[in-house]
Amino acid sequence: MEEQQAKRPIFTPIVLILLTVSLIGNVFLYSKLIQNDQTSKEDRGAAVIRSGNGAKAFFAEAAADTGGLLAKGDIADRMLAKSKLLAAYRQAAAAADFIRAAEDANGRKFAAKRGADEFLDQTLASLQAVGNHDGPLTAGEQAYLNELLQVFKACEQELSAFQHDTVNKEQSLAILVDASWPSTAGNLLTEMNKPADLAFKD
């Protein structure tokens, strides 16, 4: 009598193939997740560095231009100095971005009577109204500009602690674990809130 040939079960190889495919897929998806998370962190860190340096550039320029505006006696020179100061506000949004990034890093907003955007909007509006006349600056205009100059200098001083000039992968990731820059941003907002009133009143 012929021996019956044993049949190989096909269930086990199919299960092994499916498990292998599933494992490969999971590894691929996990690696993509890690890569995307790394890219997101790099982007966040780079944004912090750019906004911090942008804020430094703005306050340094604003302080210099406000001093220049105070030094001009006639309207022609004053309008030229004023146009430079107003042009500096093109990069002013970096200061607000820097403070918002610090608030995001802290998980809460800073306790302040006004935000950075309000400071920037009110000072810009006031500067547009200053010095639009013949003759020297009035006593009220000089007082306002001198107070604003001190605020700009104080903000510039606070930002001198932010020393992250290079935007690359390593620095972008390192800034996210640096605990000092959110404090710098908080101190910056404190200086922006020191004037009781930002509106110019002659």
Question: Tens of pLDDT along 50-104?
Answer: 999 999 999 999 999 999 999 988 889 999 999 999 999 999 999 999 999 999 9
Residue type, 123: T
Q: What is the pLDDT of residue 23?
A: 67
Cα-based torsion angle of the residue sequence 77, 57, 186, 165 in order, rounded to the nearest 10 degrees: -170
Q: What is the pLDDT of residue 2?
A: 46
Nearest to 184 by CA among 123, 106, 91: 106
* Contact yes or no for 78/131 (Cβ under 8 A): yes
Supply φ then ψ for residue 105, to 5 degrees. -65, -35
Q: What is the pLDDT of residue 166?
A: 80
* Contact yes or no for 83/158 (Cβ under 8 A): no
What stretches in the chain show pLDDT beneath 70? 1-19, 21-39
Q: What is the pLDDT of residue 41?
A: 78
Place of tokens 């639009």: 132
Residue 190 to residue 20: CA distance in whole angstroms: 58
- Compute how many other C-beta atoms are within 10 angstroms of the C-beta atom of residue 145: 21
Instruction: Name the packing angle between helices 116-129 and 139-159 (round to 10°).
Output: 150
Residue 182 to residue 13: CA distance in whole angstroms: 57
Q: What is the pLDDT of residue 69?
A: 95
Q: What is the pLDDT of residue 1?
A: 43
Nearest to 65 by CA among 86, 85, 39: 85
Residue 68 to residue 70: CA distance in whole angstroms: 5
Q: What is the pLDDT of residue 66?
A: 97
* R_g of the chain, CA atoms, integer Å: 29
Q: What is the pLDDT of residue 176?
A: 87
* Contact yes or no for 31/39 (Cβ under 8 A): no
Residues whose CB falls within 8 Å of the CB of residue 111, separated by 6 or more in sequence, listed in order: none
The DSSP line for 147-162 is HHHHHHHHHHHHHTT-
